[in-house]
């Protein structure tokens, strides 16, 4: 495992300011509301997280429940009450209770079994995070998410049978393909099903997502630099 280079506080502060400026400028040109910047902190060293916190970042995205518990429940526990934490990686049902207790937003709802696990966890914990449904927008076998043709029936079931109302949709376009057509499709799906949230766009394409009314962009390497290899 290689150790990533130390990145000083000012470097990350400058990167964050540049990203926020690009978000604002792109949104202004497109005539849309600027999306929320979700800093993707997964697999990032503590010094980079500390620098982002010092720069004023308060919304973070994590891929793994256990890693997030260590980071935000131990290392940076004193900051937790001021933060909004998003789970942006796949969620196993046996981790549902831990996820419900820790995260403010779960962006990867993708199956009915997980719906039941989250409801059971919410009863035990006494809270339910905001929910986004992950859509397998490129219909890729190796990716999680509801297939586009199955989204309508899935939303009908969780609304009518479980009383859940997701906030929005999330997607990961296929690598190597233009993102814009996938963002356009996700925007159309959100309109069709009455959902206001759209989590789409990452370091390489968040500016592309903004004109399609992204409400959240998930930015990691453009903010923090390259992640530590695992």
3-class SS letters over 51-87: HHHHCCCCEEEECCHHHHHHHHHHHCHHHHHHCEEEE
Task: Specify the long-range contacts of residues 46-49, CB closer than 8 Å, at least 24 apart.
Answer: 46/71, 46/75, 46/76, 47/6, 47/7, 48/7, 48/12, 48/224, 48/225, 49/75, 49/76
Examine the pLDDT at 4 and tell me if it is beyond 70.
no
pLDDT bin (cut points 50, 70, 90) of residue 1 is very low
Which pTM does this prediction carry?
Answer: 0.94
What's residue 9's pLDDT?
77
Q: Does 2 map to a domain?
A: no
Q: Does 4 map to a domain?
A: no
Q: Tell me the residue range of the domain where 127 lies.
A: 9-224
What average pLDDT does the segment 104-109 reach? Answer: 98
Question: What CATH number has the domain bearing residue 64?
Answer: 3.20.20.10
Instruction: State pLDDT tens for residues 159-211.
Output: 999 999 999 999 999 999 999 999 999 999 999 999 999 999 999 999 999 99
What's residue 225's pLDDT?
86
Q: Does 31 map to a domain?
A: yes
What average pLDDT does the segment 17-41 reach? Answer: 98
What average pLDDT does the segment 66-91 reach? Answer: 96
Q: How many beta carbons lie within 10 A of that of residue 224, not counting itself? A: 26
Q: Does 144 map to a domain?
A: yes
Number of domains in the chain: 1
pLDDT bin (cut points 50, 70, 90) of residue 105 is very high
Q: Does 101 map to a domain?
A: yes
Q: Does 178 map to a domain?
A: yes
């Amino acid at each position: 495992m290689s150790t990533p280079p130390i990145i000083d506080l000012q470097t990350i502060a400058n990167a964050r300011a540049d990203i926020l400026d690009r978000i604002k400028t792109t949104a202004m040109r497109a005539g849309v509301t600027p999306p929320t910047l979700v800093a993707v902190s997964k697999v990032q060293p503590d010094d980079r997280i500390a620098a982002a916190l010092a720069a004023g970042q308060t919304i973070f995205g994590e891929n793994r429940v256990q890693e997030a518990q260590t980071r935000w429940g131990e290392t940076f526990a004193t900051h937790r009450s001021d933060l909004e934490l998003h789970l942006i990686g796949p969620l196993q049902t046996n981790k549902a209770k831990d996820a419900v207790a820790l995260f403010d937003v779960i962006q990867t709802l993708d199956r009915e079994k997980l719906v039941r696990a989250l409801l059971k966890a919410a009863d035990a914990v006494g809270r339910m995070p905001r929910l986004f449904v992950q859509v397998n927008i490129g219909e890729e076998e190796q990716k999680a998410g509801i297939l586009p043709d199955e989204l309508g029936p899935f939303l009908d079931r969780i609304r009518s049978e479980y009383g859940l109302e997701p906030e929005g949709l999330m997607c990961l376009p296929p690598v190597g393909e233009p993102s814009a057509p996938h963002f356009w499709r996700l925007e159309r799906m959100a309109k069709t099903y009455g959902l206001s949230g759209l989590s789409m766009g990452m370091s390489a394409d968040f500016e592309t997502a903004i004109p399609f009314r992204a409400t959240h962009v998930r930015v990691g390497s453009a903010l923090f630099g390259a992640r530590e290899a695992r």
